[in-house]
Structure 1
Amino acid sequence: MTKTSFPMSFPAAFPAAARVSAQVLAVACLVLLCAAWLSPFLVLALATGSLAGALSRNLLAKVPHGTRAGPGQCELPTALLWTVVALLWQHAHLPTAWLTVVLPLTWVAVPLAVVDLHHRRLPRALTVPTAALALPLLAGPALATGWALLLHAVLGAAVLGALHSLIHHANPAALGRGDVFLSAPLGAVQGALGLPALIAATFLAAVTTLALHVVTRRAPRYRTGVPHAPGMLLGTTTVALVTLAGV
């Protein structure tokens, strides 16, 4: 059974919720003012992302054997990610067909990363739908660019899933079953973007996990290993946005 404690940066979990909420509110207001200065459309994206983040945080608290996220820990990152997506789409740097993939990806990435960092586990309430919907959501880009994209997605899922499965069986402490399960849908997105994206996202995930290990090497909760899912999610999201933007 996992604990429902907050990260060590919070002094006393829920008693400090009001203090954290005030800090999050201040940052959110600043971001909102900046977005309003740029475009009212970005304000809409920011507000919608905040609502999506609140939905995911509430979902985590209600699912069986679920976990909790602190105030603003899902809302603010999701709002910022959706604002970035909206900005790229508004300036024609993000194909419309890929919105069916990018928006769900950025939405689910935040709570999964937050939970794994807090509790070193991935809730099935999020990983199972992610795995089930990966290929159907990729049908949108496939309609626009060709059905070969789905074949590449299947190959990407198989390759990344097999790689993580081998690592898990070799060293279960380094990579959990949840990471193996999550690697398949993330591999599908990476494969759909192409082999360079698959390689770049895998490399970025490894670098992120290594950096997390260095930063948290003295933290008691990470003495037996650091979570790898945040690196996988960061790598996939970053590579997807950069690749689709043509950077």
Structure 2
Amino acid sequence: MKMRNMTLIALLGSIVVPAAWATDSAKAAMAEKPAVMDTEARMAHIKTMQDQLKQALGTGKDRAYYRQTLEKLGYGITAINANDHDYLEYEVVKAGESYEVQVDFKNGVATEVDVTINVWPADATMQALKSKDYRYTYPATVISNASEVSDRLRGKSWVREKVAVEKQLGIGRDRSYYVAALEKLGYEITSVNDNDAGELEMEVVKDGTSYEVEVEFDKKTRKSTSVDVSANFWEADATERAKGEK
């Protein structure tokens, strides 16, 4: 067994002690996520931004209107994931955040508009988010790997994978079990964000995509009572490095 695996298993299987008693090595193993906003505040902010943009875009417009309006609102269109007669999908960035704008058309007029958080951003979107010298240029063509980055397309397979992984991980286990189980499934554990008596939260990477695995425990029996696998919206530095983004 690799030393990294042994260290993680020892950490996750150890008795949880109050933070004031934690050793320096244990503290170092806990990832520090950006503290600009906590998770609930971030999600509330994202929901507000999505609703505002969706309302500003509206329906009943032609295709050209959506590019013009997004640019007028200060959004940079970094990728065109789809541009069919009945569907348009943009990735957009503004103020360090990225969203996906999905517009359905009928007879050349928009019938439905949705704005989602951009879970699987295109390379151009990632570059725009990271570059201090980014200058906006409208994409010349539809991207070639839409099936890999389009939330509408990839989301369907993600739901199936989420259900399968949660089922394979299962409940009624002690916390040390989850390290070996995840690695057996091909996931690399890149960050341990929470590890207290009632909860274990890890960031994992597989095939260039990161996920968050949250396991809740009964404090008396120390056995797991629930498992949730979700898309990882705010990645630790170690997770970004594992994906080759740093």
TM-score range (shorter-chain normalised) is under 0.3
Q: Which has the higher strand share?
A: 2
Indicate the structure (1 or 2) with the bigger Cα radius of gyration. 2
Q: Which has the higher helix share?
A: 1
